[in-house]
Amino acid sequence: DRSAGEKPEAGPLTWGRPSWFSRWAAEHKACREACVLIDMSFMSKFRVQGPDAGAVLDRLVTSRVGAVPAGVITYTQMLSERGTLEADLTVTKLPDGAGGAAGGFMVVATDTAHRHVEALLQRGIEREAPKGFAVVTDVTGAYAQINLQGPKSRQLLSALTSCDVSDSAFPFRSACYIDIGCARLLATRITYVGELGFELFVPVEAAAHVYETIVSTAEAGDHGLVHAGLKALGSLRMEKGYRDYGHDMDNLDTLLEAGLGFTADFEKPGGFVGMEPTLAQKASGGPTRRLVQVALEDPQPLMYHGEVIYRDGVIVGDVRAASYGHTLGCAVGLAMVDRGTAEPLPARWVSSGTWEVDVAGKRYPARASLRPMFDPKNEKIKS
């Protein structure tokens, strides 16, 4: 809190609750109850354009993105030929105002997969459109990304722009160009924290101006804006069970094992890379291991990564990533579990049995779920 003159101190290293735990909790709570601003400019951003851009992307990603209307954002995956995960993405078919048909698509991926995704797109274009035309441009440095998330985010955005951002005009998974101050920018209604929210892609030359306009407008109104960092982002997304490629899933996992089968459109013309092995796994009854959400019953212990998981006294996996769910009131993580047989792992196996997690040598009772423990029906997101 710079206004109070406090110097930020990390405090002593600990496996328990750090000295800044309450500040982390306050940022988390602000997102669930009001509105937070998160700087996500580090995210990898690519523009894919050309007459064959839609057709190429339809082959490269699991979802149908080429034929959707302009102004639609799609959460999707890229797979290898063997059906394992290669990239976790959003693909936005840019809305009118981006140069007509040549406006193309915006592909956004995590920063740690920047060059990997760029290479997948470039090689995919070379392979899938050898006689056609499509190009990929790295525009990461061209846009700042400012996220406004929380139940009051629409209220704040309405005060910032002359555009209609009501639910009917700006529904979930849509994108449009809006004005903020003297800037024109791309806004998408999407979330990585499980709340009503918007991601703003701002030309870098206008980033400081837009940021200052947001802050001054928030201060002048009853919007409850709080700046939040990546620790809060991690705990918010973990409560919702949102995946993070490279942390809780990687290129050894299949689409179905990661619980992302809903992103696949098996009926789209031409299919997609990795569709055949995905269909084969589906036809066999499903995967033999699955990524599940795990939460401790005791509110005190923390989980980080690698904690061993037991079901009915038998080791079945370990925690791949975890955080503290300040809304759930306990440590929560994502874990790949396997019952050690060649038979498909059914949902009822996850919802039954006695679950425990070994934290620092002590087993704590836990619960496991294939559905998000926070807002499983997505009511907050679509409000």
**pLDDT per position as a tens digit, 229-266:** 999 999 999 999 999 999 999 999 999 999 999 999 99
Nearest to 178 by CA among 164, 190, 189: 164
Instruction: Please count the other Cβ atoms lying within 10 Å of the Cβ belonging to residue 233.
Output: 23
Question: 């212990």: which residue's tokens?
Answer: 301
Contact by Cβ (8 Å): 150, 211: no
Q: Coil, strand or helix: which one is 246? A: coil
Left, alpha or beta for 252 (phi > 0: left; psi -120 to 50: alpha)?
A: alpha
* Structure confidence at residue 100 (pLDDT): 42
Strands 175-180 and 105-109, how do they pair? unpaired
Contact by Cβ (8 Å): 243, 33: no
Distance of CA 223 to the CA centre of its chain: 24
Distance of CA 322 to the CA centre of its chain: 15
Which whole-number Å values give the CA distances from 173 to 81, 104, 150, in the listed order?
Answer: 28, 17, 16
Positions in the chain whose pLDDT score sits under 50: 99-101
Q: Coil, strand or helix: which one is 58? A: helix
Q: How far apart are CA 46 and CA 90, in angstroms?
A: 11
Predicted structure pTM score: 0.94
Instruction: Please count the other Cβ atoms lying within 10 Å of the Cβ belonging to residue 338.
Output: 14
Residue 317 backbone phi and psi in degrees, to 5: 165, -165
Instruction: Please count the other Cβ atoms lying within 10 Å of the Cβ belonging to residue 219.
Output: 9
Contact by Cβ (8 Å): 88, 109: yes
Q: How far apart are CA 107 and CA 327, in angstroms?
A: 31
Amino acid present at 238: M
Residue 222 exposed, middle or buried by CB count within 10 Å (0-12, 13-18, 19+): exposed
Q: How far apart are CA 189 and CA 198, in angstroms?
A: 4
Question: 């992302």: which residue's tokens?
Answer: 260
* Structure confidence at residue 64 (pLDDT): 97
Strands 35-39 and 225-227, how do they pair? parallel
* Structure confidence at residue 102 (pLDDT): 53
* Structure confidence at residue 270 (pLDDT): 92
Q: How far apart are CA 242 and CA 240, in angstroms?
A: 6
Q: How far apart are CA 85 and CA 77, in angstroms?
A: 7
